[in-house]
Amino acid sequence: MNTSGYKFLGAAFMAAAVIVFAGPAAAQSKPWRHAIIAAKSDAGLFFMPVKGGFAQKLGLNVELMQIKTDSVGLKALIAGELESFEGGAQGAMAAAARGADVKVLGCHWVVVPHGVFVRANINSLKDLKGKTVAVSTPGSFPEIVAKAAFEKAGVSYDDVKFAAMGGDGDRYKALAAGVVDGAVVSDEYVPIMQKDGIKQLVPGREAVPNFVRVCIYSTSKVLSERGADAVKFLTAEMQGLKYALANRDATIKLTFEMTGAKPDDPRPAFVFDEAVRTKSIAPDLPIPLDKLNAMQQVMVKSGSISAPADLSKFADGSIRAKALAAAGM
């Protein structure tokens, strides 16, 4: 495959990323470069495997690079500038369908935390006909969530105007300012939406119950060259997530540290409690091929890809199996 379409400028990537070093305990090992969505109200869960010291204990020096969107991580991975990244499955599956070297190693956020949020005068998805809904880039997770929600409600997404507006924060601000009539954003905004004249019309877990939100990806090249480190990384993810779920206060504290949120911000606690209540986090990092296939079918219907990828080739369960044993899970 010609991957020139995925080439990514390393300098631009590094300039846009915030690097968090694993720490001195693993300073002598070759870095494992991992991209993660920029810290927000779920940061405690995402960052615990590294910031909690689990990777270091295994002798792995992880460099965390915070990125704004999933597509940035995917491009950097394919360009060889990362060993792994975590984000939505839609872009990775689309790349795999086109022949790119992308492998899913496991998924940890298995219930969609996003939803369709609207201005107070909107009472149904049908009310959004002819109006503008903020999503992310074409083919992104927010876009396919929106399209699946409209399809389920019997509304043609051709009747809706989709506007690409960056990350959750950008989309929420556009909605609060009245620039758009609806937006697909994370449920972290539920605790503050009322004061902004916003409501959640459809929770993602109801609109797309067969979708997953976050998976971890690498490439066959990385796995062949650094298989042992890949096992360590996935082991640390499992142990860190298990610890995070069992230690509410420590996880919420880490979220505040990573985001710099004000002490009275209700979102870190809300996101943690909601994730636990809905059983959104799977520390054993399953590879739910049925859910991934459901996402693919929406992508085909919406024209994001012309044909689905062979998921048996997209998934690599060998690293997960070794990590489960190493993690005692």
Q: In 87-187, which ranges are continuous DSSP H helix?
A: 89-97, 141-152, 168-176
User: Does 4-111+212-326 match 114-207 in CATH topology?
Assistant: yes
The string of pLDDT tens digits covering residues 305-322 is: 888 888 989 999 999 999
What type of residue sits at position 277? R
Structure tokens at 174: 């556009």
Residue linked to tokens 């915030």: 18
**223 vs 113: CA distance, rounded Å:** 30
HSE-up of residue 273 (Cα within 13 Å, Cβ side): 8
- Per the prediction, the chain carries an average pLDDT of 89
Task: Look at residue 22 and tell me whether its pLDDT is greater than 50.
Answer: no
Task: Look at residue 65 and tell me whether its pLDDT is greater than 80.
Answer: yes
What pLDDT band is residue 28 in, cutting at 50, 70 and 90?
Answer: low
The string of pLDDT tens digits covering residues 152-168 is: 899 998 899 999 988 88
Name the more confident of 69 and 218: 218
Mean pLDDT (whole number) for 63-70: 90
For 4-111+212-326, CATH number out of 1.10.760.10, 3.40.50.1100, 3.40.718.10, 3.40.190.10 equals 3.40.190.10
**285 vs 67: CA distance, rounded Å:** 22
Q: What's the pLDDT score for residue 144?
A: 85
Q: What's the pLDDT score for residue 265?
A: 96
Give this prediction's pTM.
0.87
Q: Domains of the chain: which residue ranges?
A: 4-111+212-326, 114-207
Of 22-36, 59-73, 81-95, 125-139, give the lowest mean pLDDT range. 22-36
- Count of helices and strands (H, E) across the chain: 15, 11
CB-count burial class (<10 Å; 0-12, 13-18, 19+) for 325: exposed
What pLDDT band is residue 207 in, cutting at 50, 70 and 90?
Answer: confident
Task: Look at residue 23 and tell me whether its pLDDT is greater than 80.
Answer: no
HSE-up of residue 192 (Cα within 13 Å, Cβ side): 16
The CATH number that domain 114-207 falls under is 3.40.190.10
Task: Look at residue 17 and tell me whether its pLDDT is greater than 70.
Answer: no
Q: What's the pLDDT score for residue 261?
A: 94
**220 vs 241: CA distance, rounded Å:** 25
